[in-house]
C-alpha cells in the first residue's frame, strides 16, 4: 500500500513508524533514495521541513472541537503574559 501511495504522489521513497492495534511498533520502508542511490532503509536520512506548526495544530484543533479554545480569541485570554 505504501508503494502505491508513493507512486500516486510522485514520491521516490519514505520511512514510516507504525504502531499496530496491540501496541507493537515497527518501521516500514518503501521506495528508493532517488537518483540511483538505492533502496530506502532504516538508516536513510531525509531532509525534513519544520513540523512544529502542524504538530501544535493537531493538539489545538481537538480542543477547539471540544469547545475548550476559540481560534479567534487572543492567547492572553487563556494564559497570563510573561
Q: What is the pLDDT of residues 11-67, one digit of tens each?
A: 999 999 999 999 999 999 999 998 889 999 989 988 878 888 999 999 999 999 999
CA distance 66 to 9: 33
Q: What is the pLDDT of residue 1?
A: 82
**Is the per-residue pLDDT at 82 higher than 90?**
no
Q: Check pLDDT > 80 for residue 74.
A: yes
Characterize the bridge pairing of strands 25-31 and 13-19.
antiparallel
Question: Which triple of cell numbers denotes residue 17?
Answer: 513508524
pLDDT at 47: 80
Dihedral angle computed from the Cα positions of residues 21, 22, 23 and 25, in that order, rounded to the nearest 10 degrees: -90
Amino acid at each position: 500500500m505504501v508503494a502505491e501511495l508513493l507512486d500516486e504522489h510522485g514520491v521516490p521513497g519514505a520511512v514510516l513508524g507504525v504502531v499496530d492495534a496491540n501496541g507493537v511498533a515497527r518501521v516500514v520502508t518503501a521506495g528508493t533514495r532517488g537518483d540511483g542511490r538505492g533502496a530506502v532503509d532504516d538508516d536513510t536520512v531525509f531532509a525534513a521541513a519544520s513540523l512544529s506548526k502542524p504538530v501544535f495544530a493537531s493538539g489545538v484543533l481537538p480542543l477547539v472541537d471540544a469547545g475548550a479554545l476559540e481560534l479567534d480569541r487572543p492567547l492572553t485570554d487563556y494564559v497570563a503574559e510573561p
